[in-house]
Amino acid sequence: MKSLAAVAVLAGLVRSVLAQNVSGAAEGFATGITGGGNATPVYPNDIDELVSLLGSSEAQVIVLSKTYDFTKSEGTTTEAGCAPYGTGAGCQLAINANDWCGSTTAATVTYDNAAIEGITVASNKTLIGVGSSGIIKGKGLRMTNGVSNIIVQNVHITDLNPQYVWGGDAFTFAESDLIWIDHCTTSLLGRQHYVFGQKPSSRITLSNNFIDGATSWSAGCDGYHYWTIELVGTEDRITFQNNYIWSTSGRGPALSGSTLFHAVNSVWSNISGHAIEGDTNGQGLFEGCVFDDVETIVVDDFKGHLFSSPDDTTNQQCESALGRACVSNIYSNSGTFDSSDTEFFANFTGLSVATAVSASEAQSKVPASAGFGKLSSSSRTQKTKCKNDWVGRDNLLDDAKLSLCWAEGGLGGALSRLCLPLDNAMDPHAIGAYDLMSLEAAD
């Protein structure tokens, strides 16, 4: 019989092989972020536990290994709304939030309550999805009221009343600091993919994300989502790196406040209306980016400050702000974007700046690598051997029946051939429920 000490060691290794670590490190304004750090990973069983963990005061590494479906969890509401864009099958209706409908055509709306306000996320959290399993359906995430040091990686937020304006936002920020959203996908939303409220949010990096605007209901009644990235904050500081924005029609971004927005190596594709809009104090530096089939890149009445990295000579002016020259953008079947306003460059002082590659490299890589489920499995897979069968970590969550064991390293010596029979689908937070005394030696 194997010793209890050996069993304990093996149990620890079972957890370690399933533990999901943050991939890479934040660049740009959120450089140095740690999130939940080295906290022991926790695996929420259901939506209630997920909400509790995200809102706790403790540093947490929260791992999502399945879909957390909030649909109908808070009931539904039927009330008077409106049809501001018409009543056609492809048109969004609107919830009358804060009497927004005014005198527009009335319509009855029935919406899911859970999606209206996102889950509150407290400071010092890492929220990370496993493979393509970390999905939050019917509710977004909300980072407000002074929270800081939050990482969200490899998560898909979807299905927030997409047929209704004001139906729900995927990511909400206001008065937050040091946040990194990476390799996330947002789709089928009622309102914004990313919204920054009026209170300032600083040191934010949004990287490797997929903004999926394809929808059956839109403000333009055309299948292109209009509500994309709304930035109304006071002196927000946002790095927007390696993101893929697809099938939207506006507010991508809306530089409506006094945000400093550094877009680097991001790709806009299949944009039916416009990408950039904003007000007088908006500030956007776009470099190494790709505009592919973007009908209008910047609205004609934009009043803010933009630098479009127009040519090698002009791009040298970035040296004072970034410590290097800017990288030129590329355009394909798109409108014009020729702006060289450097008045706002002093606002980069003291901020960490993301690196940039050529726009052609971004064009070849970003659409395929951005978003949920796209993290390299080679950097995360730990292989184990049992009876000459190799099992990668990513497969552990999919197989209905496994014998999990170690062959090389890890346990070492005679213990390196031990196997743990698992009679049910692997669920990482349920490892402790298995009978670890049933260990048997492999043949």
Per-residue pLDDT of the chain (443 residues; tens, 9 = 90+): 444 454 444 545 444 445 568 999 999 999 999 999 999 999 999 999 999 999 999 999 999 999 999 999 999 999 999 999 999 999 999 999 999 999 999 999 999 999 999 999 999 999 999 999 999 999 999 999 999 999 999 999 999 999 999 999 999 999 999 999 999 999 999 999 999 999 999 999 999 999 999 999 999 999 999 999 999 999 999 999 999 999 999 999 999 999 999 999 999 999 999 999 999 999 999 999 999 999 999 999 999 999 999 999 999 999 999 999 999 999 999 999 999 999 999 999 999 999 999 999 999 999 999 999 999 643 333 333 333 333 333 333 333 333 333 333 333 333 333 334 333 333 433 333 333 333 333 33
What is the enclosing helix (H) or strand (E) of 7?
helix 4-18
Distance in angstroms (rounded) separating the CA atoms of residues 362 and 239: 16
Per the structure block, which two tokens stand in for 391?
């099992």
User: For residue 89, what are the contacts with CB-CB under 8 A and spacing of at least 6?
Assistant: none
Contact between 84 and 154 under an 8 Å Cβ cutoff? The reply is no
Distance in angstroms (rounded) separating the CA atoms of residues 367 and 369: 6
Query: Buried (b) or exposed (e) across 255-290, using 16+ Cβ within 10 A?
Result: bbbbbbbbbbbbbbbbbbbbbbbbbebbbbbbbbbb
Going by their DSSP bridges, the two strands 267-278 and 290-298 should be labelled as parallel
Report the DSSP beta bridge partners of residue 138.
none
Distance in angstroms (rounded) separating the CA atoms of residues 93 and 165: 6
Contact between 219 and 165 under an 8 Å Cβ cutoff? The reply is yes
CB atoms under 10 Å from CB of 24, counted, come to 14
CA–chain centroid gap for 176, Å, is 16
The predicted structure's pLDDT at residue 102: 97
**Residue from 142, 251, 393, 417 carrying the catalytic annotation:** 251
Contact between 239 and 29 under an 8 Å Cβ cutoff? The reply is yes
Question: 437 exposed, middle or buried (CB, 10 Å; 0-12, 13-18, 19+)?
Answer: exposed
Amino acid present at 351: L
* pTM, 2 dp: 0.84
- DSSP structure string for 131-194: TT--EEES--EEEETT-EEEEEES-EEEEE-TTEETS--SEEEES-EEEEEES-EEEEESS-SE
Question: 79 exposed, middle or buried (CB, 10 Å; 0-12, 13-18, 19+)?
Answer: exposed
Q: Could you confirm whether 15 is annotated as catalytic?
A: no
CB atoms under 10 Å from CB of 104, counted, come to 14
The predicted structure's pLDDT at residue 272: 97
Closest CA to 209 of 364, 371, 369, 375: 371
Contact between 375 and 155 under an 8 Å Cβ cutoff? The reply is no
Report the DSSP beta bridge partners of residue 78.
110
Distance in angstroms (rounded) separating the CA atoms of residues 158 and 185: 8
User: For residue 323, what are the contacts with CB-CB under 8 A and spacing of at least 6?
Assistant: 353
Distance in angstroms (rounded) separating the CA atoms of residues 171 and 196: 8
User: For residue 12, what are the contacts with CB-CB under 8 A and spacing of at least 6?
Assistant: none
Residue the block writes with tokens 């997409």: 162
The predicted structure's pLDDT at residue 321: 98
The predicted structure's pLDDT at residue 19: 54
User: Would you report the helix, strand and coil content of the chain in percent, each value rounded to 5?
Assistant: 20, 35, 45
Going by their DSSP bridges, the two strands 389-391 and 384-386 should be labelled as antiparallel
Domains and CATH numbers, the chain: 4-18+382-441 (no CATH), 28-369 (2.160.20.10)
